[in-house]
Amino acid sequence: SQQGEEDPQALSIQEGENATMNCSYKTSINNLQWYRQNSGRGLVHLILIRSNEREKHSGRLRVTLDTSKKSSSLLITASRAADTASYFCATDAENYGGSQGNLIFGKGTKLSVKP
């Protein structure tokens, strides 16, 4: 069954606004990663946050991780039309189903940034 749940499923904002996407997971993790996917294209790695980290920044991206609540958020500041894509969180759950290393993806948030 699915490890990550994301909300909202779809988000529509105007250029310049901030976009926040949330992800929850069920089991203990080693790390959590966020990926972006343009429609029908490949997955682009955005940021990885380890289980002992609480916050991480990369350019206009800010990721937080709350292991006590088993949740993470991705904030994109000053959004641009080019940020329009689907955003997935993925966990590397060492003990989840006995697997090691593979990623378990959430359903994704479809972000639309209008110019």
Partner 1 sequence: AAGVIQSPRHLIKEKRETATLKCYPIPRHDTVYWYQQGPGQDPQFLISFYEKMQSDKGSIPDRFSAQQFSDYHSELNMSSLELGDSALYFCASSGLSKGPIIYSSTDTQYFGPGTRLTVL
Binding window for partner 1 (CB under 8 A); candidates: 17-25, 56-64, 68-76, 88-96: 88-96
Contact stretch for partner 1 (CB under 8 A) within 15-23, 61-69, 71-79, 92-100: 92-100
Angle at 63 between CA 48 and CA 21, to 5 degrees: 115
In whole angstroms, what is the distance from residue 68 CA to residue 52 CA?
Answer: 11
The smaller minimum CB distance to partner 1, of residues 40 and 115, is found at 40
- Decide the pairing of beta strands 31-37 and 19-24: unpaired
The nearer residue to partner 1, 79 or 86, going by C-beta atoms, is: 86
Contact 29, 13 (CB under 8 A): no
Cis ω for the linkage preceding 8 (within 30 of 0)? yes
Instruction: For the chain, give the longest Cα–Cα distance.
Output: 45
Query: How many angstroms separate the CA atoms of 16 and 35, rounded?
Result: 21
Residue closer to partner 1, measured from CB, 17 or 55 = 55
Q: Which of 21, 65, 104, 111 binds partner 1 (CB under 8 A)?
A: 104
Considering only residues 11 to 40 of the shown chain, the ones binding partner 1 according to CB under 8 A are: 30-31, 33, 35, 40
Residues that bind partner 1 (CB under 8 A): 2, 30-31, 33, 35, 40-45, 48, 50, 88, 92, 94, 99-108
